[in-house]
Chains A and B, each alone.
Chain A
Amino acid sequence: MQPNSSQKLKIVTLVSVGKHPQSGRVRRADQDSRAVELGLRLSADQADGLVVLHAGDPNEPSLRSYAGMGLTAINVLQLDPAADAVAPLGEQLHQSGADIVLTGVRAESGEGSGMLPYQLAEKLGWSIVPRVADIVSVKEGVAEVLQALPRGQRRAVKVRLPFIASIDTAAPMARQSAFGPAQRAAMTVTVVNAETDTLRQSWHEAVAKKRPKRLKVIKAKTAAERFKAATAKSQSEGGRIMKQESAGEQAQAILDLLVEEGVLR
C-alpha cells in the first residue's frame, strides 16, 4: 500500500456494534474492525488522518474496543435506537469532505441487510466497491482497489475518489485492541434527529439458525477413505500445475506457498 503522498486523504470508517457468533455478546464487528485497520494503514503517515464514525449510543461499550486499536477519538452521531441512520450518516459524510468511506459488508447485529453502503452511495452519488480486500494505492484521485472473490481470488479495479468501499473478511486482520487506549479515547458526540424507521418497528427479531444440511451417506470402509471423502471436494480446486518451468522456479513456488501458509517463518 502506498498512500497518496501529494494530497492528504480524508478517510472515514463507519463502525457498528458487533455480536460474537458463539456468545452473542457485543464486540467490535469483524469486518468493521478490518475497515478501521485498513483506514489506519492508509492514513498511517497522517496524524489523526482517520475519522471513525458511529451512529447510535455513545456509551455503547463495544465502541471502546474499536478505540483500543489506537484511536484518539470516535465521532458518534447520537440518535434514537429506533431511528434510521442512513440519512444523518449521509448528511455527515457529505459535509465531511471524505475521500474514502470504509464500512463492513454487513452488520453483525440489527438488520444486517448489507444495504447501508449502497444506500449511502446512492444518497451521495458516489461509487461503491463491495467486498474489498485491500486498497493498493491512491494516485491523482484514483484508487487501485482489490476486490475479494471466492476461493482467495482477487480482482483489481480502479475507482475515482470519492467512493465507498465495503470491507470483506479477506482484508487484513484488525490489530489487537488494547485496554489503555480504549479507555482514553474521547467520544465526540453530536446529537442528531432522524426519522424513525417505521418499517423496522413492525419486525420481529429472532436468532438466525443455519438450515440443517442433509448428511451425505459415504460408503467408505476405512478411516482414510472417509477422510478422503470428507476432504475430496477442494482437492482439485486452486493451485497451479507447473510442468514447463525450471526446477528453480518450481522450488521457489513451493517455498513461496510454504511461507504464505505460515509453515516456514
Chain B
Amino acid sequence: MIFEWLHPLLIATALLLAVIGAVRRVKLWRAGQPDQVDLMAGLMAMPGRYLHDLHDIVERDKYMSRTHAATGGGFVLSALLIMLVHLLGIDSQILAWALLASLALMFVGALFVFKRRLNPPSRISKGPWMRLPKSLLAFAVGFFVLTLPAAGVLSDGFMSQVGGVLLTLVLTALIIWGMGELFFGMTWGGPMKHAFAGALHLAFHRRQERFGGGRSTGLKPLDLSLATEVGGVLGVAKPTDFKWNQLLGFDACVQCGKCEAVCPAFAAGQPLNPKKLIQDMVVGLAGGSDAKYAGSPYPGIEVGNAKGGPNQIITDGLLAPETLWSCTTCRACVEECPMMIEHVDAIVDMRRFLTMEKGSTPNKGAEVLDNIIATDNPNGYAPASRTHWAADQNLPLMRDVKQAEVLFWVSDGAFDMRSQRILRAFVKLLKAAKVDFAVLGDEELDCGDVARRLGDDATFQNLAKRNLAVLSQYKFSKIVTTDPHAYHCLRNEYNDFGSDALNGVEVFHHTTFLNSLVQQGSLQLDPFIGGKVTYHDPCYLGRYNGEYEAPRELLRSMGIEIAEMERSGFRSRCCGGGGGAPITDIPGERRIADMRMEDANETGAELVAVGCQQCTAMLEGVVEPRPQVKDIAEILVGQLVDPTANGLAKEVH
C-alpha cells in the first residue's frame, strides 16, 4: 500500500525544504551588522519569554490569546508527534492518541482563527493571511485522519478498503497543503514565518532588558567614529546597516496591525503606518517589491511601487522620507506589538542617515539643529538669557551653592512664556514644601532630546557630555524636572557616556516628586472644586518611563475623580508633540492634537491635566471651545493651603 512510504516521504521532504529555507532566511538576517547577544542564553530563555512576556501582551485580547494558545500550542505539539509517529514510525498507541488530541486542539483553535477572519478589522492584513486558517484546518484534518489507524481506531486496511484511491488522494492533498503552509511556508516567507522568526526574535532581541517586565526605552548611541571609517556610514542607509537582530525582528511581524490601530500619525492621515513600515523593511531585507502587501497603505501613498533590496538605499524607492518624519516617537506601536518589534529604533536609525549623511531634515529641522548647535536651545535665543524667566524668583544657583538636595532641571521651557508659568508654579511648590534645591542657571543646556529624535546623534552626544560635565561639578542626590523629555534623557540616555555625574542620583519627574511631598504631608492641599477633570499621559512619562500612577494620585489627593479617556495609561494617545514632529511638520488630513482633544471632550471634562510643557503647548493649540489645559503643578498651586503667600510675604519683608 502506498501510504507506507508516500506520507513519510512527503513529511521528510517538507521538513528538508523547511530546513533549507531556514538556512537561507538566517543568511538574510546575518547580512545585518553584528550585535552582542548571548545566543545560548537567549535560546534557553526563549520558551519562558514566549509564555510570559509575549503572552502578557497577547493576553490584552483574550479571544486572541486563547485562540493562539490552542492553535500554536496544538501545532507545535502535533509537529513533534508527527515526526515521532509518522516519520520515525514509532508504533505506539499512546503517542498516536496524544497526536490526535493535539490535532484536535489545533483544529478548534483554527476554527476560531477562521471565525475572526470572517469579518476582519481593517488593521489586519489580508492576502496570504486569509488562507492561513484554512491551511491550519487542512493540516489538522489531514493528519487526524492519517493518524486514526495508528491509534487503532481504524484498521490499517481501512483506507484501501473504503475510500480507496480517492480518499488517499484527498488526504494527500490536505497534507501537502497543510505542510506547505506550516513547514515550508514557515521558512520561505509565508504567514507562518512569524513562528520561526518570532521565536528567534524573542531569543536574540536587541533589548533583552524588556523581558521579565523590564523597560528599555533609551535610544542606543551611534558610534560617531563610523564617519571617518572607510565605507562607514552614519545611521541606517540600507537594510544591511541594521543590526542583524533588528532584521530578524522585522521578520517576526504577524501583520496584526495593532501598531497601525494606535499610531497617531496614521490616524491623522500622515504617510506613516508602522505595520507597513515593518513590512517594507522585510521587503528590503529579502529584496523585491511591496506588491503582495495586503494591508492598509501609508495614507496617501499607493501600495505596489516600493522596491528594495538588502544593499539598496532605503529612502531611494522603498520608503518616502516623509514616512520616517511623520513619527512622533510615541512608542504606542512598540507597546502594542505582540512580537515586541522596535519600530522607534528603526525609524530613528533611518533618520540618522537622512540627517547626518544626507543633511535633509525637513522643514524647520535644519534650522532648529543649527540653533541647538550654536546656542544650546532650539530657538536660537542667547544662551545668557536662559534664566531671564526667573529674574524675580530668587533661585539658588548651583554655581554659588555647590550642593543641594534637589537639582531642579529647568529645561528649554525657560524660553517659552507658557512653559514659564509651569516652572513658576513648580518653584512655588518647592518653596512651600521647603525643599533644598538649586538650578544650573545658564550652565544648563538643551537636554538633546529633539536633536536625537531628529537623527542628529552627534549633537545629542555633544550636549549630553557637556551637561554631564557641568553636573559632575556639583553635589545633589535628586534631579527633578517638569519636562518628561529631559527626564527621559537624563534618566535613560545619559548613562551611555562613561560619566559618573549621575551615579547614585535619582531622576524624578515633577509629578512623582510632588506626589511624594504630598504623601509626606509637606504640601497641604485644598480640595479642587471646578468641574470634571481628565488626565493626559505624556508618552515620555508613561510609556517611556512607566509613570502612570503618581500624577493620578496627585489629582486624587485634591479630591479629583479623574474622568479617564478611553485611551489612557499605557494606551494614551500622543499629543503630536514628540520626536520633533512639530518641527518636521509632515502634512496630514487632521492634526494629532485635535484628535487628542476630541478624546478629552468625550469625557465631558472641563479641564485637561497634563504633566508636560510640550503636551500643554500642543493641546492648547487646539481651537476653542475646548477644555482648559493645565499642568498638574499649576493645578496644585491653585489648591495650596498654608500659604506660600505668607512665606513669600516673609521673604519680602
Contact = CB atoms under 8 A, between A and B. Distances in A.
Contacts of B187: none
Contacts of A175: 359, 366
A97 B458 CA distance: 38
Contacts of A23: 374-376, 382-383
A176 B455 CA distance: 13
A165 to B, nearest CB: 24
Given A179-B234, A179-B456, A183-B227, A22 B361 contact: no
A49 interface: no
A23 B359 CA distance: 23
Given A22-B383, A23-B382, A179 B356 contact: yes
A179 B587 CA distance: 27
A181 interface: yes
Nearest to B456: A179
B161 interface: no
A178 interface: yes
B60 to A, nearest CB: 40
B238 to A, nearest CB: 15
A178 B382 contact: no
Interface in A60-106: 68-70
A120 B187 CA distance: 69
B359 A25 contact: no
Interface string B378-420: 0011110000000000000000000000000000000000000
A69 B366 CA distance: 12
Contacts of B587: 265
A233 B136 CA distance: 77
Given A25-B375, A183-B228, A178 B355 contact: yes
Contacts of A177: 359, 370
Task: Give the interface centre of A69, A181, A183 by most chain B CB atoms within 10 Å.
Answer: A183
A141 interface: no
Contacts of B365: 176
A176 B380 contact: no
A180 B375 contact: no
B356 A22 contact: no
B480 interface: no
Contact of B359 (A20, A27, A70, A265): A70
Interface string A174-193: 01111111011000000000
B357 interface: yes
A69 B375 contact: no
B374 A178 contact: no
Nearest to A27: B374
Task: Give the interface centre of A20, A25, A69, A178 by most chain B CB atoms within 10 Å.
Answer: A178
A181 B234 CA distance: 10
A180 B366 contact: no
A262 to B, nearest CB: 10
Contacts of A68: 359
Given A20-B374, A23-B382, A176 B366 contact: yes
Contacts of B370: 27, 176-177
Given A23-B375, A25-B374, A183-B227, A176 B233 contact: no
Interface string B217-259: 0000000100110000110000000000000000000000000
A20 B371 CA distance: 9
Contacts of A265: 587
Given A68-B359, A183-B227, A184-B227, A176 B374 contact: no
A87 to B, nearest CB: 32
A23 B227 CA distance: 28
Contacts of B619: none
B197 interface: no
Contact of A180 (B234, B360, B374): B234
B358 interface: yes
Nearest to A68: B359
Interface of A: 20, 22-23, 25, 27, 68-70, 175-181, 183-184, 265
Interface of B: 224, 227-228, 233-234, 355-361, 365-366, 369-370, 373-376, 380-383, 456, 458-459, 587
7 contacts: A22-B375, A68-B359, A176-B361, A176-B370, A179-B458, A179-B459, A181-B359
Given A22-B380, A179-B458, 12 more contacts: A23-B374, A23-B376, A23-B382, A23-B383, A25-B374, A70-B359, A178-B359, A179-B234, A179-B356, A180-B234, A181-B357, A183-B228
